[in-house]
Chains A and B, each alone.
Chain A
Amino acid sequence: MDMKAATFTLDVKGLELPEDVRQEISLALNNTLMRKLGEINLTGKTNGGAAATGGNGLFGKVIRIDGGDWSRLINRHDFGPIFQRTLDNKQVLGAGIEQINQTQVGK
C-alpha cells in the first residue's frame, strides 16, 4: 500500500471572503476531514472481522491486548480534555501521519 504524508492545502485563488465565512468554511472542511478519518480502515479487514479472530490475541503483527475497562471512575475529571488546545484548521491539517518501522517477534 503506497502511503504518503497526509498534507492538504486548499488555496482558492482570487476568492476573497469575510473572516466569519472563511472560518465557517474552515470548520466545515475540518468536519469533513474528521469524518473521513473516522471512516478509514487500514487493517485490511472488514469491520468486525478483527474481533472475530480472538484466540491468542495476535492479529497479524499486532498484539491485541485488552486495554482495560475503565471502572470506578468517580467524577468527570477522570476523563476530560488532555490538552488545552483549540481545534482549528491549522492543527488538524498540520497533524502528519508518520511512517514508523517496527519488528515484532512473538515469544
Chain B
Amino acid sequence: MNSRPKNGPLTTESRPLCPSAPLREGSQLLGLVRQEGGIRLLAEPLPVTADFVEAATATGPAEERFRFVNKCVEKGCTKWGAGGCSVVASALERLQATQAAILPSCGIRPSCRWFMQEGASACHICPQVTYLNYE
C-alpha cells in the first residue's frame, strides 16, 4: 500500500478530510449514530456551534452519538502509519464492505482521506464506524 493517497483528487483544501475525527476546533457534524447500527450521514457536513458543543458534550463524549469530520492531520494522528490511515484499513480488515454499486451519499467524498486511500470500499464501510473516545 502506498503511503500517499491514490484515489481521488486533492481538491480545494490542502489537507484531505478525516471522516472520523474527534470533536475539536473546526470539526463539522458528519452523521448521527443510530440505534439500528451504522451512521446516519448528513448530505453535507454541518458546522457545529458553541450551543451544539455544549449540548453534545453535556452527558458524555459527543463521538458516542455523532460522527465528525475535520482535517486529516496525518502524522499528527496516532493512527497514521506507513500505509496512511490505519483506521480505515483496520475497518476494512474487520468488516466486509457491501458490494452495492451505489455509494452512500456523502458531502466530503472528493476530499475524504479514506476514499483517497481505499477507494469505494471505504465508502461502504464508512457508515459502520464510530469514533471511540478514550478521553
The chain A residues found within 8 Å of chain B, CB to CB, are: 1, 3, 30-32, 34-45, 47-48, 50-51, 57, 59-73, 76, 78-83, 85, 87, 91-92, 95-107
B95 CB contact (under 8 Å) in A41, A63, A85, A97: A63
Size category of the binding interface on chain B: 35 or more
Residue of A nearest to B53 (CB): A38
- Return chain A residues, CB-CB under 8 Å to B65: 40-43, 47
- Return chain A residues, CB-CB under 8 Å to B25: 76, 79-80
Q: Tell me what chain A mostly uses at the interface: helix, strand, loop, or mixed.
A: loop
Mask, B2-46, CB within 8 Å of A = 1, is 000000000001000110111011101100111111111111111
B77 CB contact (under 8 Å) in A68, A76, A107: A68
Let me know if A71 and B40 touch, CB within 8 A. no
Q: Tell me what chain B mostly uses at the interface: helix, strand, loop, or mixed.
A: mixed
The chain B residues found within 8 Å of chain A, CB to CB, are: 13, 17-18, 20-22, 24-26, 28-29, 32-49, 51-65, 69-71, 73, 75-80, 87, 90-91, 93-96, 98, 100, 104-105, 124-125, 127-134
B90 CB contact (under 8 Å) in A65, A78, A98: A65
Residue of B nearest to A84 (CB): B12
- Return chain A residues, CB-CB under 8 Å to B39: 62, 100
B20 CB contact (under 8 Å) in A38, A67, A79: A67
- Return chain A residues, CB-CB under 8 Å to B94: 63, 106-107
Let me know if B71 and A80 touch, CB within 8 A. yes
Closest 10 CB pairs of A and B: A61-B37, A38-B55, A68-B79, A44-B35, A38-B56, A67-B131, A47-B59, A38-B52, A68-B77, A34-B52
Q: What are 26 residue pairs bridging A and B, where the CB atoms are less than 8 Å apart in the complex?
A: A1-B34, A35-B51, A38-B51, A38-B55, A39-B58, A41-B65, A48-B60, A51-B61, A59-B130, A62-B129, A66-B79, A70-B78, A78-B73, A82-B28, A83-B47, A95-B42, A95-B43, A95-B44, A100-B38, A100-B127, A102-B38, A102-B98, A104-B125, A104-B128, A105-B95, A106-B94
